[in-house]
Amino acid sequence: MTNATRKIFAHSTLLASVAGALLALTPVLSTPARASTGYYQQFGSRPGTTALINRFVGNVLADSRINFYFAHTNIPALKAALVNQVCNLEGGGCPFNMNMHTIHENMGVTQAAFNALAEDMIRALDEQQIPVAAQNNLLAKLAAMEPEIVTK
Ligand code: HEM
């Protein structure tokens, strides 16, 4: 995939309305030879995932569009939960059963805030040089959670 194609794909994940279409597109845009079981390894397993989440949360906390949401958040606990969640989503076998709707329902998360957070993740994925197919796999799964998180 060209870098330009990937950028178009990545940015299209910001639109919640196309989440379903993204899931349909993923097999076309991913490298067919790569089995989905290899994604966690492509994130660098536990150390790579921890580094990614550190970058991501750093980006979010530096992002004045959304950092106020996290003013009273226990950041180490948030990071630990996100590392487990990515491990779980990407085939690393970590138990994860937090309910995204229950956690976020009283926060008043807007569509714009969700999109800003997705951008911060895309930047972290680029900064950590995660392979494109693995990036797209995670972004599609995060985009699919949008209806559970956006309430406003
Ligand atoms: C797909 C996108 C998202 C995922 C996967 C996600 C995941 C999570 C998880 C796993 C937690 C629990 C952390 C813990 O219990 O310590 C959490 C908490 C939180 N999320 Fe999200 N989240 C997403 C989007 C958002 C957005 C868009 C916002 C607001 C801009 C947001 C704001 C928060 C806040 C403020 C907390 C901390 C709640 C607290 O302090 O107890 N999240 N999120």
Lowest mean pLDDT among 23-37, 78-92, 98-112, 126-140: 23-37
Ligand 1 contact via 149 beta carbon (within 6 Å): yes
Which two tokens mark 64? Answer: 């004045």
The alpha carbon of 44 and the centre of ligand 1 are apart by a number of angstroms equal to: 23
What pTM did the predictor assign?
Answer: 0.83
In tens, the pLDDT along 53-111 reads 999 999 999 999 999 999 999 999 999 999 999 999 999 999 999 999 999 999 999 99
Q: Which residue has the tokens 């994604």?
A: 39
Question: Measuring CA to CA, which residue among 97, 131, 100, 130 is closest to residue 114?
Answer: 100
Neighbours of 37 (CB within 10 A): 10
The alpha carbon of 31 and the centre of ligand 1 are apart by a number of angstroms equal to: 30
Domain boundaries along the sequence of the chain: 3-149
Q: CA-to-CA distance for 69 and 51, rounded, in angstroms? A: 22
Ligand 1 contact via 19 beta carbon (within 6 Å): no
The alpha carbon of 121 and the centre of ligand 1 are apart by a number of angstroms equal to: 13
Q: Please list the helix, strand and coil fractions of the chain in percent, rounded to the nearest 5, in that order.
A: 70, 0, 30
In tens, the pLDDT along 103-115 reads 999 999 999 999 9
The alpha carbon of 91 and the centre of ligand 1 are apart by a number of angstroms equal to: 21
CATH superfamily, with its number, for domain 3-149: Globins (1.10.490.10)
